[in-house]
C-alpha cells in the first residue's frame, strides 16, 4: 500500500493490513514519523517523538507477525499489533521524558509505565511519542509555554481544543489512527469536536487509573481519540480492565465487548434533546452547534427512537462544587515552591483559589457533587440518553481563550465554551462526542473555512455499550470518514 493509503486507515483496518502482510510495522512507523515531521509539526501534535523506542517495538511486532503467519496463529496476536498510538504528556511512559505542559516542572524520565500504557503495550501498539497538553491539563485549549500550540488541521488559525489537544491534532492530521488522552471536564470530547473526531469519556470506574494513579474526586478518566466509532469501542475493550484496589467500579468492566455492541443496532430508546446550556446560564450557542444536535436528533428519530426535549437538570450556580474541586485538584500538582512563579497565570489563579478552599468547603463540595448526581438521575429518569451539542461554539481562534491578564475571565470564558461537558464528569456518566456537524467560519485573513462541530450523547452510568451502539448507528446514517481537513492534500 502507498504511504497515503496507510495513513488514511483507521486503527482496525491498519491492524488487518499488518496481519495480512500487506505492510510491515516498520513501513507504518516510517510513514508515521515522516508525517509527524511534515504534518504533525504545523498542528503542534507532539512534545517529543520516540523513534528509538518505536523502532524497537515495530521490529518486535514485525517478527511476531511473520512468525504467526508461518504458524497460522495470527488470530492469537494482540489486536493492534504494530499500530502507532502516542500517549498524552500527562501520563508516564517508562524512560520517556515528561513535563505535563509546564515550565514549572523540570522534564524527568518516567520511572514506569502508567497502567493504561501497560494495557496499550499489551494490545500491541507502538508508542511513537508524547502528545501536547496545556499546563497540567487544566484549560480547554492547548497553548503551553513549553511546547507547541495544538491547532485543528481544519484551520490552523484555530485551536485543537484541550486538554488532549495534541492527541486530537495528531489523529485528525492523519499522523496516527488513534491517540491516548484523558478527560476531567471534557478533555477528550472538546478536542474531538474541534478536530472532527470521536471522543468517548467512559463511565467512572470503567478505565482504572491504577496501579499507580488514584481516582481522587473521580472526575477524570483515560480514553482515546479516533476517527471511527469501532476504533473507540475496540480500544475501550483494551482499556476497560480493573486493577486491584480500585475505588470506583463500573458494570461490565473487564467483561463486556464494546466492539461487539457496535455491530447490533440498539433497541428503541428515548432520547432527551438538551440545547440549553447547563453550567453557564445564558452562554451564547452558535447556530451551527444547535443545528448539529437537532440534525442528530432527526437521524435518531428516523432510526425509530423517540426524541423529547429536556431541560438542564440543575441551575448553573450549583456547578460551583466542580469549580472548588477543580481548583483544589490544580493545587495538588507537585510544583516546587521556588518554581511556582513559572506557572501560567491561569494555573496560579486556580491554585490560589484552591488554597482558599477550607476543609469543610471541600467536603461540602464532594457531598454537593454526589447530591447533584442524584438530582441528574431523577431529572433525566424519563430518557435513556441525552443529546446536546458538544461545545457552544466552533473551534476557537488560537489565543482568543488564553487570557493571561485576567485568569478569572479566562476560566469564565472556558465554562461558556463548554457548558455541557463537565456534567458527565461530575456525575461519572459516559458521554461521547461525534463529528456530525460543520460550521462555516472566517479566519483572521477573512477567508471562509468549514470546520467540524461535534454533538454529544450521554447515558446512564455503565451504559457505555448503548452509547457506542447509538454512535455507530449515527455514523452509518451520516458517515464522516470522507471529510478531510484543509491541511491535508
Residue 244, CA distances (Å) to 27, 55, 148, 207, 440 in order: 38, 33, 37, 12, 49
Query: Quick one: which of 232, 209, 225, 259 has its CA closest to 90?
Result: 209
429's CB contacts (< 8 A; 6+ apart) are 203, 204, 376, 458, 459, 460, 461, 463
Distance CA(175)–CA(154), nearest Å, equals: 14
Active-site residue 201, yes or no? no
Distance CA(325)–CA(463), nearest Å, equals: 25
Annotated catalytic residue, options 24, 159, 187, 280 = 187
Annotated catalytic residue, options 24, 88, 203, 433 = 88
Read off the C-alpha cell for 345. Answer: 497565570
381's CB contacts (< 8 A; 6+ apart) are none
Active-site residue 187, yes or no? yes
Phi-psi region of 100 (alpha: psi -120 to 50; beta: other; left: phi over 0): left
Distance CA(468)–CA(266), nearest Å, equals: 9
Annotated catalytic residue, options 24, 102, 159, 163 = 163
383's CB contacts (< 8 A; 6+ apart) are 270, 271, 272, 308, 310
| Sign of the torsion angle spanned by Cα atoms 452, 230, 172, 47 | positive
Active site residues: 88, 163, 187
Amino acid at each position: 500500500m502507498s504511504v497515503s493509503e496507510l495513513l488514511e486507515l483507521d486503527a482496525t483496518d491498519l491492524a488487518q493490513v499488518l496481519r495480512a502482510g500487506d505492510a510491515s510495522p516498520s513501513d507504518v512507523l516510517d510513514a508515521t514519523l515522516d508525517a509527524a515531521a511534515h504534518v504533525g509539526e504545523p498542528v503542534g501534535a507532539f512534545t517529543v517523538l520516540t523513534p528509538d523506542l518505536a523502532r524497537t517495538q515495530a521490529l518486535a511486532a514485525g517478527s511476531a507477525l511473520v512468525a504467526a503467519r508461518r504458524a497460522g496463529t495470527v488470530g492469537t496476536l494482540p489486536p493492534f499489533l504494530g499500530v502507532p498510538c502516542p500517549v498524552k504528556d500527562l501520563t508516564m511512559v517508562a524512560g520517556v521524558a515528561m513535563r505535563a505542559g509546564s515550565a514549572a516542572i523540570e522534564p524527568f524520565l518516567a520511572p514506569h509505565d502508567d497502567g493504561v500504557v501497560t494495557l496499550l503495550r499489551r494490545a500491541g501498539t507502538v508508542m511513537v511519542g508524547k502528545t501536547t497538553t496545556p499546563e497540567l491539563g487544566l484549560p480547554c485549549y492547548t497553548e503551553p509555554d513549553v511546547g507547541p500550540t495544538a491547532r485543528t488541521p481544519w484551520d490552523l488559525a484555530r485551536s485543537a481544543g484541550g486538554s488532549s489537544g495534541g492527541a486530537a491534532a495528531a489523529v485528525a492530521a492523519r499522523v496516527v489512527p488513534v491517540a491516548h488522552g484523558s478527560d476531567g471536564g471534557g478533555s477528550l470530547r472538546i478536542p474531538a469536536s474541534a478536530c472532527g473526531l470521536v471522543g468517548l469519556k467512559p463511565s467512572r470506574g470503567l478505565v482504572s487509573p491504577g496501579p499507580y494513579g488514584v481516582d481522587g474526586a473521580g472526575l477524570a478518566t483515560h480514553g482515546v481519540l479516533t476517527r471511527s466509532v469501532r476504533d473507540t469501542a475496540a480500544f475501550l475493550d483494551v482499556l476497560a480492565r480493573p486493577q486491584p484496589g480500585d475505588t470506583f467500579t463500573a458494570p461490565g468492566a473487564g467483561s463486556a465487548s464494546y466492539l461487539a455492541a457496535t455491530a447490533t443496532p440498539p433497541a428503541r430508546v428515548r432520547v432527551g434533546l438538551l440545547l440549553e446550556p447547563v453550567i453557564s446560564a445564558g452562554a451564547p450557542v452558535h447556530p451551527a452547534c444547535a443545528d448539529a444536535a437537532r440534525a442528530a436528533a432527526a437521524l435518531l428519530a428516523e432510526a425509530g427512537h423517540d426524541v423529547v426535549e429536556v431541560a438542564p437538570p440543575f441551575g448553573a450556580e450549583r456547578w460551583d462544587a466542580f469549580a472548588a474541586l477543580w481548583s483544589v485538584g490544580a493545587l495538588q500538582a507537585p510544583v516546587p515552591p521556588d518554581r511556582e512563579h513559572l506557572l501560567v497565570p491561569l494555573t496560579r489563579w486556580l491554585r490560589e483559589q484552591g488554597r482558599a478552599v477550607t476543609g469543610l468547603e471541600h467536603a461540602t463540595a464532594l457531598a454537593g457533587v454526589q447530591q447533584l448526581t442524584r438530582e441528574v438521575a431523577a431529572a433525566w429518569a424519563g430518557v435513556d440518553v441525552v443529546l446536546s451539542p458538544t461545545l457552544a461554539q466552533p473551534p476557537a481562534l488560537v489565543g482568543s481563550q488564553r487570557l493571561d491578564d485576567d485568569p478569572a475571565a479566562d476560566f469564565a470564558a472556558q465554562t461558556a465554551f463548554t457548558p455541557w461537558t463537565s456534567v458527565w464528569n461530575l456525575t461519572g456518566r459516559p458521554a461521547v462526542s461525534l463529528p456530525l456537524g460543520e460550521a462555516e467560519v472566517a479566519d483572521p485573513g477573512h477567508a471562509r473555512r468549514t470546520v467540524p462541530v461535534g454533538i454529544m450523547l450521554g447515558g446512564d452510568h455503565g451504559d457505555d455499550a448503548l452509547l457506542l451502539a447509538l454512535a455507530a448507528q449515527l455514523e452509518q446514517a451520516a458517515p464522516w470518514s470522507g471529510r478531510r481537513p484543509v491541511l491535508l492534500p
